[in-house]
């Protein structure tokens, strides 16, 4: 989610509404939870971090993604947009006890996200950092910034080396860009609705990135289930060029037929993790003022999805989206109701179950929200099938 320093009146509406929820309805963020849809996911442990837990006197907050560093530690990118320091990420050690299912927060330190740039690579004027992954085999970082799209600061995906030197950006189709430099656009990614989810393939050769919500020219596109089409792009890391693209359908929030279902685009895809068999996991966050927050985990199979790389507007031509299945309602599985934005794989448990480590973004407003690290166990994924509704 987007943050901007300054008075609450300048904050984006979604952030402001979430901040006001405890004032409106009590001491905690209301939740939309379905315990029956927990899907075998188990909350093992969680920890709440304070602002003064940040090293070097820089407040800890705004953590919008968590990534395994490939060496047993984790990197958590901060999206404070320069209010508390330069673009950065937190290098964090988490000590897991695989026997008890508990963990402790260990050593931590800030690392600068941008320290220089290669020739011909232009550093962004402002960074609203959202997604982060370590590229296997290289130690390079691939990350995204949502920019300030309608104020002339583009949203982009970047590749940096381990020292913070920008190496390249990734090429986007022109219809992902606004049709004017400043002001409301009729085309492209929308403010605070750009790339919040991405991952690198295990061979370190490709990056897969997902837009949080529908493009501007596709605001009215819905399928029969009321879902909106979100673009998923696959890039070649060596060249930054687009290789393919497919559609991931984001579930509506609130669910059709419930109170408040007049709302549209109240949910978005905020994190993804690739699996070795070509499928991937997606974390969807939904928010509606009168209902609260919903956090769901989906298992997605894109292998039969159509390539939509050359389609500017999805309302113009038919297409087959990726197939998805609800893996779990995470709040129903025991996750605290908060602004969850990031996930990474944790260590496997002795019984063979995979685990996830999740992070919530406090929006630098811990009066109402928290920075939370949670550890959850997944059911076996190899026996779970995926199909479209009605198939």
Q: What pLDDT, on the 0 to 100 scale, is given for residue 246?
A: 98
For the segment 241-296, what is each residue's pLDDT rounded down to a tens digit? 999 999 999 999 987 766 554 545 578 999 999 999 999 999 999 988 778 899 99
Low-confidence ranges of the chain (pLDDT < 50): 1-27, 261, 263, 389-391
Q: What pLDDT, on the 0 to 100 scale, is given for residue 24?
A: 33
Q: What pLDDT, on the 0 to 100 scale, is given for residue 288?
A: 82
Phi, psi of 49 (to 5 degrees): -105, 150
Q: What pLDDT, on the 0 to 100 scale, is given for residue 316?
A: 86
Task: Please report, for residues 106, 277, 279, 299, 303, the alpha-carbon distance to residue 384 in angstroms, rounded to integers and kept in the order given.
Answer: 35, 12, 11, 9, 15
Residue 349 CB neighbours (<10 A): 17
Task: Please report, for residues 53, 115, 136, the alpha-carbon distance to residue 95 in angstroms, rounded to integers and kept in the order given.
Answer: 17, 29, 22
Residue 100 CB neighbours (<10 A): 9
User: How many whole angstroms separate alpha carbon 131 and alpha carbon 212?
Assistant: 11
8 A C-beta contact, residue 157 and residue 198: yes
Q: What pLDDT, on the 0 to 100 scale, is given for residue 6?
A: 37
**Full strand arrangement of the beta sheet holding 102-112:** 63-68, 74-78, 88-97, 102-112
User: How many whole angstroms separate alpha carbon 323 and alpha carbon 304?
Assistant: 8
Query: What is the DSSP code string of 204-264?
Result: SSEEEEEESS--GGGTT---TTS-EEEEEEEEETTT--EEEEEEEEEPPSSPTTSTTTT--
């Amino acid at each position: 989610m987007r943050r901007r320093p300054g008075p609450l009146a300048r904050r984006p509406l979604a952030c402001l509404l979430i901040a006001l929820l405890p004032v409106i309805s009590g001491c905690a963020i209301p939740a939309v939870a379905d315990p029956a849809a927990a899907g075998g996911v188990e909350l093992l442990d969680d920890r709440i971090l304070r602002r003064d837990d940040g090293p070097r006197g820089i407040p800890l907050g705004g953590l919008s993604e968590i990534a395994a560093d490939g060496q047993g530690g984790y990197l958590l990118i901060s999206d404070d947009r320069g209010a508390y320091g330069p673009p950065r990420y937190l290098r964090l050690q988490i000590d897991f006890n695989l026997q008890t299912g508990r963990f402790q927060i260990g050593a931590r330190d800030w690392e600068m996200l941008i320290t220089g740039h290669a020739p011909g690579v232009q550093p962004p004027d402002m960074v609203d950092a959202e997604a982060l992954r370590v590229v296997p085999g290289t130690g390079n970082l691939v990350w995204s910034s949502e920019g300030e799209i309608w104020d002339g600061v583009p949203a982009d995906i970047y590749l940096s080396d381990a020292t913070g030197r920008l190496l390249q950006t990734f090429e986007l189709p022109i219809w992902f860009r606004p049709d004017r430099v400043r002001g409301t656009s009729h085309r492209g990614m929308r403010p605070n609705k750009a790339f919040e989810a991405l991952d690198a393939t295990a061979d370190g050769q490709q990056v897969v990135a997902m837009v949080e919500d529908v493009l501007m020219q596709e605001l009215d596109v819905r399928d029969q289930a009321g879902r909106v089409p979100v673009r998923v792009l696959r890039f070649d890391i060596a060249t930054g060029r687009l290789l393919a693209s497919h559609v991931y359908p984001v579930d509506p929030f609130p669910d059709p037929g419930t109170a408040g279902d007049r709302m549209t685009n109240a949910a978005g895809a905020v994190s993804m993790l690739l699996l070795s068999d070509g499928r991937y996991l997606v974390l969807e966050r939904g928010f509606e003022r009168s209902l609260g927050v919903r956090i769901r985990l989906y298992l997605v199979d894109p292998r039969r999805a159509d390539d939509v790389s050359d389609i500017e507007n999805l309302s113009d031509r038919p297409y087959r989206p990726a197939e998805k299945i609800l893996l779990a309602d995470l709040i129903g599985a025991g996750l605290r109701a908060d602004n969850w934005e990031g996930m990474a794989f944790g260590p496997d448990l002795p019984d063979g179950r995979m685990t996830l480590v999740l992070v919530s973004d406090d929006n630098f407003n811990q009066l109402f929200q928290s920075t939370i690290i949670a550890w959850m166990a997944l059911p076996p994924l190899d026996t779970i099938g995926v199909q479209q509704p009605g198939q």
